[in-house]
Structure formats: C-alpha cells, structure tokens
C-alpha cells in the first residue's frame, strides 16, 4: 500500500496521470497527422450530410402523414351527392399524398374503373418517389463511412511499418504514434458515422412504409366508394 501511495505522490507519475486524463478527442485526431485529419474531415462532412437528410426527411414524412380523420368521410359525402367540384376543392386544400391521390381519382370519375385505378397507382408512385427522395444517400453513407475509416486504418499501418522499415527495425514507439493514431481514430470515426447513417436510414424507411400503407388503404377505400351502389 505504501508503494502505491509513494507512486501517487511522485510528481512525475502525477503529471503523466494528469496528461492521460486531459487527453481529448481533438488531441487524438491531431496526433494522427495529416492523413488522419483529412479522413476524419471527410467523415465529418458525411455525418453532416447524413444528419441533414435525416431531419429534412423526417419532418417531410411527418407532414405527409398528417391528414384529417374525417377527410374520407367528407369525400364520400361529396361524391355520393354528386358534388365533384367540392371534392376536388377539398383535396386541393389538403396538402398530403392521400389527398393528391384522391384528387386524381375524383378527376377520373366517369371513366372505367381500371383507368381510375391506373391513374391513382401512377400518382402513388410519384408520391412515394417524393417521400424517398435522398434517402438512398443515407444508405450510401452508411456503407461508405466505415470503408473510408478502414482506408485510414490501412494508411496508418502503412505509415507505421514504413517508419519501422526506414529505421532498420529500431523505431521508437514515439515515432510510430502518428501512424497508430491514424489507424485507430479513423476506424472509430468511420464506424460511428456508418452506424448513425444506418440507423437513420432504417428509421426513415420504416416511417415511409407507414405513409405508403396509409396511402394504399385510402386508395382502396376510395375505389370501394366508387363500387358502392348509388
């Protein structure tokens, strides 16, 4: 116990412990040299792009999923009473994919049911495309970020082995630190960015599927309305 106390009281040991405690992420990044800084800068840009797309899409999908619960009931009343213009006006005043699909169907009333169904399907394809805009970029970031991090790992190890080779196998640990830091920090950074992008991508896909399901359910309800006897 006395030996541990003596070590703790030793100024040199205390200074080393203090340095270890104050070592920050920024210190790790800059200790890796130019290669580490460049690769982590690229990963930071990818992280910013992933977060921007995620939050932009999540708000857009949230807005698209909002619709008045009485919307289809009002459409049913207008169509049943032959007030097609009122139904179109209601759809135009409701900013949602469901309303736009319904408006497309109302505008085709009087034509064969297959034509109405085709028009709604085509409009639905366009709405799904709008919902999924830029979402594929998240999938790209989720796959590319870890690979970029591993690239930094390879570069760092090459630098470390090059230092050993040029020093005749007598390189000190201090001279190898730059390559090792590059290898470790870029790997961690790449995995973090990739995990965030992957989780964001899957969450957006799940939210989009729910909106698409709601669109399909309302399209079926509208077509059933047209098949009802007057």
The tens place of each residue's pLDDT in the chain, 230 residues long, gives 444 445 345 554 444 444 444 445 555 555 555 667 788 889 999 999 999 999 999 998 888 888 777 788 888 888 888 788 888 888 888 888 888 888 888 888 878 888 888 888 888 888 888 888 889 999 999 999 999 888 877 777 776 666 666 666 565 555 555 556 666 778 888 999 999 999 999 999 999 998 888 888 888 887 877 776 55
Q: Rounded to an integer, what distance in angstroms lies between the CA atom of residue 12 and that of residue 97? A: 68
3-state secondary structure of 13: helix
* H runs (alpha helix) in the chain: 2-9, 11-21, 25-31, 33-65, 71-80, 84-93, 97-106, 113-131, 135-166, 173-227
User: How many residues does this entry show for the chain?
Assistant: 230
What's 107's DSSP letter?
T
Helix (H, G, I), strand (E, B) or coil at 24: coil
Structure-token pair, residue 171? 């390189």
- C-alpha 97/C-alpha 60 separation (Å) is 11
- The SS3 assignment for 88 reads helix
User: Hey, what are 72's tokens?
Assistant: 């289809």
User: Which pLDDT does position 133 carry in this prediction?
Assistant: 87
Give the number of other Cβ atoms within 10 Å of residue 176's Cβ: 17
Q: What is the pTM of this model?
A: 0.74
């Amino acid at each position: 116990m006395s030996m541990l106390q003596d070590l703790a009281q030793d100024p040199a040991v205390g200074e080393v412990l203090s340095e270890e405690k104050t070592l920050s992420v920024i210190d790790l990044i800059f200790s890796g040299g130019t290669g580490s800084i460049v690769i982590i800068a690229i990963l930071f840009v990818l992280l910013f792009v992933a977060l921007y797309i995620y939050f932009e899409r999540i708000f857009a999908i949230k807005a698209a999923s909002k619709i008045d619960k009485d919307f289809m009931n009002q459409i049913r009343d207008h169509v049943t009473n032959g007030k097609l213009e009122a139904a179109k006006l209601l759809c135009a005043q409701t900013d949602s994919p469901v309303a736009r699909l319904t408006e497309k169907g109302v505008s085709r009333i009087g034509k064969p049911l297959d034509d109405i169904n085709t028009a709604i399907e085509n409009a639905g394809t366009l709405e799904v495309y709008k919902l999924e805009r830029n979402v594929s970029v998240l999938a790209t970031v989720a796959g590319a970020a870890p690979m970029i991090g591993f690239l930094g790992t390879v570069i760092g190890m090459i630098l470390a082995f090059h230092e050993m080779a040029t020093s005749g196998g007598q390189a000190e640990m201090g001279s190898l630190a730059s390559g090792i830091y590059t290898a470790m920090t870029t790997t961690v950074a790449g995995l973090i960015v990739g995990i965030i992008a992957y989780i964001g991508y899957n969450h957006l896909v799940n939210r989009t599927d729910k909106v698409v399901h709601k669109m399909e359910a309302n399209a079926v309800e509208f077509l059933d309305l047209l098949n009802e006897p007057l």
